[in-house]
Amino acid sequence: MPQLFDPLTIRSVTFRNRVWVAPMCQYSISAKDGVVGDWHLVHLGAMAAGGAGLVIAEATGVSPEARISDEDTGIWNDAQAHAWSRVVSFIHSQGAAAGIQLAHAGRKASVYPEWSTELKGTMPVAEGGWQTVSASTLPFPGYDPPIALDATGIDKVVADFAAAGRRALDAGFDLLEIHAAHGYLVHQFLSPLSNERTDEYGGSLENRARLLLRIVRALREVTGDAPILVRFSATDYAEGGWDEEQTATVAGWAHEAGADFFDISSGGNVTGVTLPSGAGYQVHLATYVREQADVAVSAVGRITEAQQAADIVASGRADAVMLGREMLRDPHFALRAAHELGVELDYWPGQYLRGRWGK
Ligand SMILES: Cc1cc2nc3c(=O)[nH]c(=O)nc-3n(C[C@H](O)[C@H](O)[C@H](O)COP(=O)(O)O)c2cc1C
């Protein structure tokens, strides 16, 4: 079995280790143009300098209306790509791979940003919000109702993902992650609890998965040999909803369609359900998908300790781990974990060598 600090190769990219940074929205583009600046350079750059094998930039809108809030990052124009290239080039200079999560928030779009205002829920059009879209007209509880996408609208979403993916690779990103989790647009199509369509995008599992599979194929066509990851919520934690079995089946189909690796999270599509939250609470879901679909996966969710992360990889429960909140607390988690596990790294930043433990 590989160990946490062993390299991992997916297609054209070799990751120096299996300690990866999960995508995390920063709601920091105060100019509302989706163009990243110094915050993202420092925030993502610190985690690359901190030894992570892969840093995945946050859920990034493939179009203006795809953003969760108007302070989200974007990748639908050249100015955004140019700004990202500065961040990517710093991540690379630190020896980490750079990924970007391509996202469409669907019915969970056009909300107030999470932390810079007291206001919550749908941002009205008069304040800069926009009409949201989804699989159906069912609203996310507490938010304004979306419009159901028609065939032309669905084609545009697929084209937007493909154009965004191409632009991201041109900006230097090594890989693309499709956001199919947390109740955002692709998840809204996947789950029977948010998809009431009666056309070829609704009803059967094959139909609900059609949007995702079209996006995977469209991206594969424009990305050559770059790895494509898919982040799934493996379950809605609700009767009659999306679940592990459907996730594993669709992961298998997505793999055949050109996706390489699966990042397994959970929840986010419905309210009023109990979400587990203990240490490693989603690892078993990643293992399930890995075993059932015979695909490579990462585990995420309350992975906070070096030994815990090492055990997950060494026991074959996942091929890599992703960390979110622990990376916010300690962007140098990977360096610290290596020390705690007694692993010698040859990629300590030279500037920080005098800070090594025990030196
Ligand atoms: C500040 C913050 C922003 C997040 N934004 C995203 C996001 O953009 N895309 C996504 O898929 N998950 C997002 N998440 C979820 C994380 O990627 C991760 O799956 C979750 O926090 C559980 O892992 P953790 O316990 O290591 O934090 C976010 C989490 C946090 C804390």
Name the DSSP letter for residue 173.
-
- pLDDT higher than threshold 90 for residue 38: yes
Is the alpha carbon torsion for 5, 53, 260, 180 positive or negative? positive
Please list, in sequence order, all residues whose beta carbon lies within 8 angstroms of the beta carbon of residue 346, skipping any fewer than 6 positions away. Answer: none
- Predicted pLDDT at 1: 85
- Predicted pLDDT at 3: 98
CB atoms within 10 A of CB 152: 8
Give the mutation target among 19, 20, 21, 24 for probing the ligand 1 site: most ligand atoms within 8 A of CB: 24
CA distance 19 to 310: 9
Look at the pTM and tell me if it is higher than 0.75. Answer: yes
- Predicted pLDDT at 108: 98
Tokens of 161: 């993902």
CB atoms within 10 A of CB 315: 11
Mean pLDDT of 36-40: 98
- pLDDT higher than threshold 90 for residue 184: yes
Tokens 């800070």 map to which residue? 355
Q: Which of 95, 96, 82 is nearest to 21 (CA)?
A: 96
CA of 49 to the centre of ligand 1 (A): 20
CA of 24 to the centre of ligand 1 (A): 5
pLDDT tens string 85-99:
999 999 999 999 999
Amino acid letter for position 49: A
Active-site amino acid positions = 184
Tokens 């647009």 map to which residue? 185
- Predicted pLDDT at 358: 81
SS3 label, residue 124: coil
SS3 label, residue 109: coil
Mean pLDDT of 223-232: 97
Rg (CA), the chain: 19
pLDDT tens string 282-319:
999 999 999 999 999 999 999 999 999 999 999 999 99
Lowest mean pLDDT among 225-229, 237-241, 355-359: 355-359
Question: Does the beta carbon of 179 sit less than 6 angstroms from any atom of ligand 1?
Answer: yes
pLDDT tens string 58-107:
999 999 999 999 999 999 999 999 999 999 999 999 999 999 999 999 99
Question: Does the beta carbon of 266 sit less than 6 angstroms from any atom of ligand 1?
Answer: no
- Predicted pLDDT at 347: 97
SS3 label, residue 244: helix
Please list, in sequence order, all residues whose beta carbon lies within 8 angstroms of the beta carbon of residue 343, skipping any fewer than 6 positions away. Answer: 3, 4, 5
* Ligand 1 atom 16 nearest Cα: 324
Amino acid letter for position 238: A
Q: Environment class of residue 231 by beta-carbon count within 10 Å: exposed (0-12), middle (13-18) or buried (19+)?
A: buried
Name the DSSP letter for residue 8.
E
Q: Which of 281, 287, 248 is nearest to 266 (CA)?
A: 281
Mean pLDDT of 324-351: 98
- Predicted pLDDT at 245: 98
SS3 label, residue 105: coil
CB atoms within 10 A of CB 65: 20
Name the DSSP letter for residue 115.
S
Q: Which residues make beta-bridge pairs with 147?
A: 133
Question: Does the beta carbon of 81 sit less than 6 angstroms from any atom of ligand 1?
Answer: no
Q: Name the pLDDT band for 359 (thresholds 50, 70, 90).
A: confident
Q: Name the pLDDT band for 15 (thresholds 50, 70, 90).
A: very high
